[in-house]
Every structure is written in C-alpha cells, then in structure tokens.
Amino acid sequence: MKIDPVKFTQDLIRCPSVTPLDAGALDVLQSALEGLGFVCTRLPFSEEGADDVDNLYARFGDAAPNFCFAGHTDVVPVGSKDGWRSDPFAGEITDGILYGRGASDMKGAIAAFVAAVSDFLEGHREIKGSISFLITGDEEGPAVNGTIKMLKWLEENGEKLDYCLVGEPTNPGKIGDMAKIGRRGSLNTTLTVVGTQGHVAYPHLADNPIPRLVKMLDILQSHTLDEGTEHFQPSNLEVVTIDVGNTASNVIPAEAVAKFNIRFNNLQTDQGLQDWIRAVCDSVGGTYRLEMKASGDAFLTPPGRLSILISDAVRKVTGETVELSTTGGTSDARFIKNHCPVSEFGLVNKTMHKVDECVSLHDLELLTKIYREILGDFFKG
C-alpha cells in the first residue's frame, strides 16, 4: 500500500486533535499502519487531576534491532479562527503550501515517516529487525498520560527500543538545517519572600520583603552558571515576573513573589541547581518559600550511528550538511533518552504554534525521501 504524504497530512489535520482530544487522529494513523502490516496497540491512560489521553504503539517485525519513530498527534489550540486564511482544520493547499494546525508540528512529519515506511516495505518485507511507532496524544499538554507511561508499558511487556527518531520540527530555515541530538533541562522556580505589612511612614513596625527579593534575584541573575560545552550553549537563568500585588503607595507589602526559569546544560543537574538557589536565599536571610519543579533533564546523545544516519540521508537528498544541535525547548525525547539513543529531525519550525501554520509540499516530499534513506541505511545488510 502506497501512502501519499500530502494526502495523509491532510487526513491528520482534518482531525481537530487539540490536547487532550484525539478526534480520530490515531484511528487514521492506525488504519494506515495496519494496512502496512503493523501490529497496533492502543494505550489509553488516565490519572487523577489530568485529562485522559489515548496513545498508539505500532510495530512491524518482532526481531531486534527496533528502529522507532516517535511523535504526537495532539496540537495546540488555534487561537482566533478569524486570523487564519482558511479553516485551520481543513488542510487546504494554496500555491504549493498546505495550511492547518499541526502541519509542521508534527502531523506532517508523521505522514512523511508513514509514507517513507510504505515505500521502504514495498521492497523489504523481510527486514532484519523491526520498525515501530510511538505516538502520543499528550505532548502539547502536561505530558503525564503519554510518552512516560507508554515507555513504562513497553518495559513491562518486553518491548525494547534500540534507536529512536523523534519527528519534531527541528529546521529553522530549510529542510536539512538542523537535527537535535540533545536538549537542555528546564527548572521552573517560584520564590516568595515573606515580610510584615505596615505603613510606609512607620517602617520600623513593618518588614519590607522587596529589598531581600531584589538582592536574591541580583545574586542569582548575575552568577555565571557555566560557559557551555562543545554541544551545549551556556546555562541561563531568566526572571519572568516579579509581583507584590500592592495597589497602594503608602503600604509596605507582606510578600513579594518572583518566578524564574533556568535552562541548563549537562554540566548542571536539577538537584544541584535547587541546592544553589536555596543557598543563595539563605545567604540573604529572612523568611522565604521556594517552589521548584524540573520539566526535563539535560541530555545528550553523543554523535554516533543515529546522527550519522540522519546526516548522511540529509546530504544525499538535499546536499546540505546538517547541524547537530541541542538548542530550543523540551520535547518527549527527554523521556526516551533513558531507554535508547534518541535524536530529532523533522520539518521547518517557522510556523509551528502560529496562525496559518503550514508546510510546503516540497518539504513534505524532501522529508519523506530523507526518512526513506534513513530506513534503507539502517536496515542495509
């Protein structure tokens, strides 16, 4: 069965799968994969305090090595539909450009990989290994009922991944610009400094928390965490908001709150950063509260077989030399890295999460060819 990546992208876009809704997207994918001979398993998960999410694991073959393609069919909200040139879930094509929510992030990449697999399997039904899909409906959401639980299910059921390619849109300008071989970690912090409310004319009867908060932030912000590494840019701390909730000019507030985020490389650890933040706050003194939560660890898949497969395929198809990068935000690769080598390569990311998100038909064709080359090289011999 031959899969057309353009039509398949349209079919997926026409399922309005805004997190946590599936809206039939996994049905479309499962039907195509079963038609190619994959054994499909739906993995719905639920957890108190989070939305129920449906997921899909599909595998062709039962031998090692298992080459897995990971991704997500859920998409972010469209915002105001009035700002779109056409219905964001219509999948319309104008002048060689396919528009729709999820076109680049990442229904287009899923369609390209399915099309590449369909082409590859036409002449390679007896492969020495397996091809699998790990597709979640919870990547754009809280990510608690998706990839994490799927990976646990794989372990419990004897399913091992040997290599994983994630189809996130990694290219800033054109297909072949960039692949991700790692990601920085992310630590979100809320710092609340506690004082005593009072009249500004009687400061000795109050305790202003703002100067202590400012001093803490100054020490934290001015400290150089590291200089970066060969594969990572320097870790950075960014203050995103400072609030006291005070509308009066003659009142010293009782509390002052700041929120900041640290994006850190593999020279840092979540726990190490938390210990440093507490030490800084202790050095300033006073009463304070800290809420800290890491949304992902820093990780690196050192250049090796997987990055060579991507680089060689990109060079064959486009003539470009792909940059192996760790820039950008987090992705579900942060969970997969605990199970096997993982890298990311997909479409151009210029329009992801934006109004009029789109992908060129030419880029879909190029990505399909690149994925096809990766499969051919991986299973060669």
Q: Which of 323, 337, 313 is nearest to 230 (CA)?
A: 323
74 noted as active-site residue: yes
What tens digit of pLDDT does each residue of 327-348 get? 988 899 999 999 999 999 999 9
CATH code of the domain containing 238:
3.30.70.360
Annotated catalytic residue within 105, 119, 139, 162? 139
Q: What domain range is 31 assigned to?
A: 5-183+298-378
- Closest Cα to residue 37, out of 132, 165, 134, 160? 132
Query: Which of residues 248, 278, 296 is at a domain's end?
Result: 296
Tens-digit pLDDT profile for residues 147-173: 999 999 999 999 999 999 999 999 999
When pLDDT is averaged across residues 65-87 and rounded to a whole number, the result is 96
76 and 154: one domain?
yes
| pLDDT score, position 381 | 57
pLDDT attached to residue 125? 78
Residues 179 and 234 in one domain: no
pLDDT category at 124 given cuts 50, 70, 90 is confident
Q: Under a CB-based contact definition with an 8 Å cutoff, are residues 5 and 112 in contact?
A: yes
**Residue where one domain finishes, among candidates 268, 296, 324:** 296
pLDDT in tens, 202-224: 999 999 999 999 999 999 999 99
Question: Which pLDDT score, from 0 to 100, does residue 3 have?
Answer: 97
Rounded to whole angstroms, the Cα distance separating 296 from 183 reads 9
Which domain-ending residue is among 228, 263, 296?
296
21 phi/psi in degrees, rounded to 5: -70, 145
Of the listed 22, 74, 168, 297, which one is catalytic?
A: 74
Is the domain of 273 the same as that of 302?
no
Q: Are residues 33 and 170 in the same domain?
A: yes
Q: In terms of domains, do 218 and 302 share one?
A: no
Q: How many domains does the chain have?
A: 2
Q: Is 82 a catalytic residue?
A: no
Total residue length of the chain: 381
CA 215, 218, 223: angle at the middle one, nearest 5? 135
Residue 175 sits in the same domain as residue 77: yes
- Cis before 352 (ω within 30): no
For residue 358, pLDDT over 70 is answered with yes
